[in-house]
């Protein structure tokens, strides 16, 4: 068989096709300057750490791992076999392994995979082929060479050391220390490491890697003293000498650059560079000088000091240094606390116009400095494979700046991705102003040509859909109102599906028309006539758009991002505005029907005074504020939280919008209501809710203040007077009060009678089951609230676990009082295993006040009437008698997103003691799933039991186990049964979605909201009776249409269990208090939102524990389009090895590694008690990182405790107790994995 034929089989076996002789795929054009050819990679002399095991993919032959970490793969003739590690690499990294082809299979090929898809469907591959005597770099997806192969004499049976270095688009390969390939290519920016064997028996030596924790690339250095290590990028400079490292791959104008810094030498100085030239010899620098006790901002080329900040800086301490540059305004921020972050405000500011753009970089002087977490703000997008064809494309604080500056008239800056999807939803935030125009291109060819283009021209005021290949317009329209003003950020959404295309700008349809004839799958951005900024760029196949793991069909959620407290709910000119919290910012969406929401850009971001926490908004219809020049507009009141101040110095600030909420300006610089403790006050003081007091003709503000609520009044919305307080004492049930609401409602059936409702949420403590929504009715006299009853009658607004921070709309038409709540609980607020999206809101509910006989006034809640418009089919049955042994009357019904209405009659005597509806029934992972809605006829309670509803191992209290929860296994609320005589009738209405149940009963006076996480295939329903008969008078199941999803396919499938082997000698370990622990390629991997520990079966007095430890990471199934990792398992996290632990882990020594706090430490927990002042026995600052493997040795011998990491002793301390106990492996708030765990009893 010829060598040429063997090579052809290799490509064909990969399903990749073959290349003609001499064919080479041309490297893509770079976005920025590449590292100079011939310049050694910055990782060349780096250390490496072992990576998680490579786990064989299905149908990949036989893979065997030795105890030393080597692999032997045996694959049949003409076939390939792949094994993938969970280790990811992106910007700058090194991957090394030994490769040999067994002499018995001389036509075999051994290959290292990097930046690869988890299923091996794409990525880069470096192959050693002794048969053809070549080293080859090729695209795993196409089989095409990236650059011509290197002719290298290779022998079977010889073990070659293969060393792959990546730095942005640069790929540098050495074999046995000799450079063989040096390429530039942009196809893959991030992916997994792995192995590929072809056509025989292949041996791979120990696999190891090193990544620089940075999102900047193109490193050039001024000396050989830089080394990438497990604890940072380290520069060791000779006495009096400078070392510089500059990331030349990016040239931002508006810069925001952050680095964690650790100075290891007494007289060393470390610095970050910005707006620097490629040599680091001109630009700006901010230096950290422990010896001088100061920070200094200076101009590099002439050493001119622009500003200083004197502060104590500890050698070996870890600090976060941030520099910003916008125009001539320069600033330096300094963070010293990682647990309660400070550094929000700059400590140095300066004006200097010497440099308007440039690179970022690092400097080490006169000793040893280390840097970690190098982050340049820029484009937020999970898309990869970008190629810049023309123009300038650079990161910017506002995203990605594309510019045709310097190009000929009519020239166009172009950036594209060869393949994304054909039917696609593109969403991005765009800032473009005349004379520039910007465009989005979909269905373009692999070279960026052709496609369907959406062109936005603010100067002409037009939006045009074009067929680029034909050069014809497909549709055009005027720019929607309130859009594309100078400096305005605009949300653009383009949906191309089949033959149709639709474009929205700021939530308003701009045009709809034919999609054109383009048939490619590429995606691109274009700019002409100037510059434009793009941010939050997504391009989703319609099959996954709004269709993530557990993602709801008709409840509000975001395609990606966090959705929590509803804020600023307001109605104006036919639009409902929904603002909500998203990481300390006000996200924004609009709707005309309360069901179909359109996303807009962030309305209130992090501002100079602090983060923008919760609040409310009103319509200033009479210009009482004077902000609208006699017109009207929206005024938003938000909590400003400054991380540099005590408890954030929470205050109320105001912003306003004169263009229907599309842009916002601050109403005034100072707060409209400052913290009651003054400018440095530390009171809890947040979540202002504004309402109108028609009787008094004044505005009312109610603010949560910890253990009470505070009322203020105003006539102009900007000047507020303190009025009164409410709360304290028995009104507080354990947690702080938050998110109040205050509104007046008529009492049904009592003409002319009204009552004010004062509502709040409270948490997060066990006494409230994590969170609770509470209210009281009463009267308001213009300055003070008087409740109708005392705190003993404090009412629960929702008896479920997952209805928090609810707020009502201001100005809803027809006098309706409509509320939305965040469906979550502070026990697990952001812990749901949902992946790229997190958080959802309840259905909008219309509120009323009803007199309940024997109970008094109660709020009644019903889903808004608009919800009925989503019913697209109905199954129903009537007059069905059901007993304990009856067949399931709902067996023929299935549903994932539906509404159930039922009237159930319980006869007397002989009636059932209880009945239940089973919802979302099915099985997953061998376990049955079911959520029960149960009525207890004896107790008269209606409840939801989610103890078997699906995923619950991500947090402690979700399932409601009685031992962990002060409530019963299901949430319940007393209801009054209608009717009388010979039967009692109970009406139930249940809204079910992909991950929630909302139950309404008792004529709306009982409401229960619960999250659930069943598998997408759990769609069954049932009905059953206990202890007697019931009669289903009527039951209807309405299937509800999706409001955002564009496919009928179910939400993304739940991830399968991890694969791989965990090597340990813990014995039959016990997990406390809960959590998921699995065998994986990284070892025994635990994921949980708080502390979870796997405890050994045996106990030890003197003991040594050795383990390879890593935090974060985790496998995922397949290659998700946008690179989104579905966080079915945590991706951050910290952890500990426990020594001498009690059976529940409440007493132990914790040998703790925390990449978030950049610390290694030992602390002692005693009966669950932790005192920061006395429990921490030793603490060592360390630039620990996620997704890096560390070899940890922890030892307890008598009173002596020692900790060694990667062979370096970090801690040696003495403590008198505890004397013996179990060994444990712990995870906290994420994922931790422990491999090759050896527990050794010491004599």
Residues known to be catalytic = 565
Rounded Cα distance between 410 and 414, Å, is 13
Determine contact, residues 503/474, Cβ cutoff 8 Å. Answer: no
Determine contact, residues 424/413, Cβ cutoff 8 Å. Answer: no
- SS3 (DSSP) at 11: helix
Question: For the residues of 766-797, what is the DSSP string, one character each?
Answer: GGGTTEEEEEEEEEE-SS-EEESS-GGGPEEE
Structure tokens at 595: 């069901």
Structure tokens at 330: 């320069």
Determine contact, residues 833/550, Cβ cutoff 8 Å. Answer: yes
Structure tokens at 380: 């937020």
CA-nearest of 60, 329, 300 to 198 is: 60
Rounded Cα distance between 1013 and 948, Å, is 10
- SS3 (DSSP) at 646: helix
Determine contact, residues 401/533, Cβ cutoff 8 Å. Answer: yes
Positions of E strands within 963-1069? 971-974, 983-993, 996-1001, 1006-1011, 1020-1026, 1030-1040
Cβ neighbours for 652, distance < 8 A, ≥ 6 positions apart? 615, 637, 638, 639, 640, 671, 672, 673, 674, 685, 688, 701, 703, 720
Identify the residue whose tokens are 């940890």. 1192
Cβ neighbours for 135, distance < 8 A, ≥ 6 positions apart? 126, 127, 128, 129, 149, 150, 152, 154, 173, 175, 180, 181
Residues in the chain: 1243
Structure tokens at 833: 């295993």
Positions of E strands within 102-190? 109-116, 124-129, 134-139, 150-151, 160-167, 170-175, 178-184
Determine contact, residues 92/168, Cβ cutoff 8 Å. Answer: yes
- Whether residue 1073 has a cis bond before it, omega within 30° of 0: yes
- SS3 (DSSP) at 10: helix
Q: Order the strands of the 150-151 sheet from edge to edge.
A: 55-56, 80-89, 191-198, 109-116, 124-129, 134-139, 150-151
- Whether residue 1218 has a cis bond before it, omega within 30° of 0: yes
Question: For the residues of 824-836, what is the DSSP string, one character each?
Answer: --TTSTT--S-TT
Q: What are phi and psi of 1044, to 5 degrees?
A: -135, -30
- SS3 (DSSP) at 865: helix
Identify the residue whose tokens are 């601050």. 666
Residues β-bridged to residue 74: 62, 201
CA-nearest of 482, 712, 718, 713 to 577 is: 482
Q: Using the 8-state DSSP alphabet, how is residue 610 labeled?
A: B
């Amino acid at each position: 068989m010829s060598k040429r034929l063997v090579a052809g089989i290799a490509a064909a076996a990969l399903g990749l096709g073959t290349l003609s002789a001499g064919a080479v795929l041309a490297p893509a054009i770079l976005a920025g300057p590449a590292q100079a050819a011939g310049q050694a990679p910055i990782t060349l002399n780096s250390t490496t750490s072992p990576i998680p095991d490579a786990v064989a993919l299905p149908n990949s032959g036989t893979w065997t791992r030795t105890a030393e970490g080597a692999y032997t793969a045996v694959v049949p003739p003409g076939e390939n076999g792949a094994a993938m590690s969970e280790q990811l690499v992106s910007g700058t990294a090194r991957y090394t392994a030994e490769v040999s082809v067994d002499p018995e299979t001389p036509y075999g090929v051994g290959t290292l995979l990097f930046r690869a898809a988890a299923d091996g469907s794409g990525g880069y591959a470096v192959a050693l082929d002794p048969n053809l005597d070549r080293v080859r770099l090729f695209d795993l997806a196409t089989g095409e060479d990236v650059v011509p192969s290197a002719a290298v004499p290779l022998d079977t049976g010889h073990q070659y050391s293969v060393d792959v270095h990546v730095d942005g688009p640069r790929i540098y390969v050495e074999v046995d220390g000799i450079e063989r390939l040096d390429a530039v290519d942009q196809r893959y920016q991030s992916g997994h490491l792995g192995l590929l064997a072809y056509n025989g028996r292949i041996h791979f030596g120990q696999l190891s890697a090193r990544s620089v924790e940075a999102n900047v690339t193109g490193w050039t250095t001024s000396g050989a003293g830089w080394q990438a290590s497990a604890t940072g990028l380290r520069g060791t400079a000779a006495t009096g000498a400078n070392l510089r490292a500059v990331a030349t791959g990016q040239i931002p104008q508006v810069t925001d650059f952050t680095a964690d810094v650790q100075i290891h030498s007494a007289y060393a100085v470390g610095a970050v560079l910005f707006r620097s030239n490629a040599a680091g010899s001109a630009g700006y620098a901010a230096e950290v000088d422990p010896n001088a006790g100061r920070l200094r901002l200076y101009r590099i080329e002439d050493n001119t000091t622009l500003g200083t900040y004197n502060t104590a800086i500890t050698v070996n301490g870890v600090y976060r240094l941030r520099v910003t540059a916008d125009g001539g305004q320069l600033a330096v921020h300094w963070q010293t606390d990682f647990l309660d972050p400070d550094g929000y405000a700059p400590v140095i500011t300066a004006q200097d116009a010497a440099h308007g753009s440039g690179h970022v970089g690092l400097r080490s002087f006169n000793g040893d400095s280390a840097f970690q977490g190098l982050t340049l703000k820029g484009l937020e997008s999970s898309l990869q494979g970008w190629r810049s064809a023309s123009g300038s494309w650079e990161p910017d604080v506002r995203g990605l700046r594309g510019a045709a500056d310097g190009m000929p008239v009519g020239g166009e800056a172009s950036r594209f991705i060869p393949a994304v999807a054909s039917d696609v939803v593109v969403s991005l935030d765009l800032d473009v102003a005349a004379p520039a125009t910007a465009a989005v291109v979909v269905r373009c060819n692999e070279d960026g040509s052709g496609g369907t283009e959406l062109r936005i021209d603010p100067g002409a005021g037009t939006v045009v859909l074009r067929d680029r290949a034909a050069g014809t317009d497909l549709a055009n329209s005027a720019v929607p109102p309130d859009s594309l003003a100078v400096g305005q950020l605009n949300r653009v959404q383009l949906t191309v599906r089949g033959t149709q295309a639709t474009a929205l700008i700021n939530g308003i349809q701009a045009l709809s028309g034919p999609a054109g004839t383009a048939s490619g799958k590429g995606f691109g951005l274009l700019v002409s006539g100037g510059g434009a900024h793009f941010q939050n760029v997504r391009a989703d196949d319609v099959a996954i758009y709004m269709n993530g793991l557990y993602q709801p069909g008709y409840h509000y959620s975001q395609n990606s991002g966090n959705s929590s407290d509803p804020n600023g709910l307001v109605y104006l000119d036919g639009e409902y505005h929904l603002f909500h919290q998203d990481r300390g910012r006000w996200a924004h969406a609009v709707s005309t029907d309360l069901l179909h929401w359109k996303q807009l850009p962030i309305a209130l971001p992090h501002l100079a005074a602090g983060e923008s926490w919760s609040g409310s908004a009103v319509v200033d219809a009479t210009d009482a504020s004077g902000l609208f020049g006699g017109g009207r507009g929206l005024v938003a009141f938000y909590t400003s939280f400054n991380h540099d101040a005590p408890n954030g110095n929470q205050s109320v600030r105001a912003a306003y919008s004169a263009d229907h909420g599309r842009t916002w300006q601050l109403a005034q610089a100072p707060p409209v209501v400052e913290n009651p403790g003054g400018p440095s006050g530390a009171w809890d003081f947040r979540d202002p809710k504004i309402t109108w007091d028609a009787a008094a003709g004044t505005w009312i503000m109610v603010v949560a203040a910890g253990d009470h609520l505070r009322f203020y009044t105003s006539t102009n919305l900007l000047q507020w007077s303190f009025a009164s307080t409410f709360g304290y004492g028995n009104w507080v049930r354990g947690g702080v009060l938050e998110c109040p609401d205050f509104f007046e409602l008529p009492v049904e059936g009592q003409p002319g009678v009204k009552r004010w409702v004062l509502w709040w949420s409270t948490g997060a403590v066990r006494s409230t089951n994590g969170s609770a929504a509470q209210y009281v009715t009463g009267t308001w006299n213009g300055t003070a609230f008087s409740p109708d009853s005392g705190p003993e009658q404090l009412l629960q607004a929702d008896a479920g676990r997952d209805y928090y921070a609810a707020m009502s709309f201001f100005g809803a038409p027809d006098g309706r009082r409509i509320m939305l709540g965040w469906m979550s609980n502070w026990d697990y607020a952001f812990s749901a295993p949902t992946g790229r999206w997190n958080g959802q809101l309840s259905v909008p509910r219309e509120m009323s006040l009803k007199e309940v006989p024997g109970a008094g006034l109660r709020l009644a809640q019903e889903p808004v009437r608009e919800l009925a418009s989503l019913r697209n089919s109905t199954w129903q049955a009537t007059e069905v008698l059901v007993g304990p042994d009856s067949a399931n009357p709902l067996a023929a019904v299935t549903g994932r997103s539906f509404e159930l209405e039922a009237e159930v009659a319980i006869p007397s005597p002989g009636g059932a003691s209880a009945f239940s509806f089973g919802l979302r029934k099915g099985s997953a992972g061998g376990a049955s799933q079911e959520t029960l809605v149960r009525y207890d006829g004896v107790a008269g309670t209606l409840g939801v039991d989610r103890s078997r509803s699906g995923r619950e191992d991500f947090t402690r209290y979700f399932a409601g186990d009685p031992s962990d929860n002060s409530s019963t296994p299901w949430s319940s609320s007393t209801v009054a049964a209608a009717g009388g005589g010979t039967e009692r009738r109970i009406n139930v209405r249940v809204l079910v979605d992909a991950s929630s149940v909302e139950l309404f009963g008792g004529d709306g006076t009982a409401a229960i909201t619960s999250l659930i996480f069943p598998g997408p295939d759990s769609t069954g329903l049932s009905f059953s009776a206990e202890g007697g008969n019931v009669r289903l008078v009527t039951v209807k199941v309405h299937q509800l249409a999706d409001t955002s999803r564009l496919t009928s396919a179910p939400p993304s499938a739940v991830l399968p269990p991890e694969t791989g082997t965990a090597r340990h000698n813990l014995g039959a370990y016990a997990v406390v208090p809960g959590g998921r622990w699995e065998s994986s390629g990284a070892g025994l991997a635990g994921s949980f939102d708080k502390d979870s520990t796997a405890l050994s079966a045996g106990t030890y007095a003197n003991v040594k524990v050795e383990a390879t430890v890593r935090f974060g990471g985790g496998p995922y199934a397949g290659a998700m389009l946008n690179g989104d990792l579905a966080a079915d398992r945590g991706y951050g996290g910290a952890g500990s090895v426990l020594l001498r632990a009690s059976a529940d882990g409440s007493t132990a020594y914790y040998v703790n590694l925390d990449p978030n706090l950049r610390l290694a430490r030992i602390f002692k927990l005693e009966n669950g008690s932790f005192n920061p002042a006395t429990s921490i026995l030793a603490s060592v600052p360390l630039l620990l990182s996620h997704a890096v493997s560390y070899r940890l040795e922890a030892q307890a011998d008598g009173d002596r405790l020692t900790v060694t990491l990667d062979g370096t002793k970090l801690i040696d301390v003495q403590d008198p107790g505890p004397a013996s106990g179990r060994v444990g492996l712990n995870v906290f708030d994420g994922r931790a994995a422990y491999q090759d765990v050896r527990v050794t009893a010491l004599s």
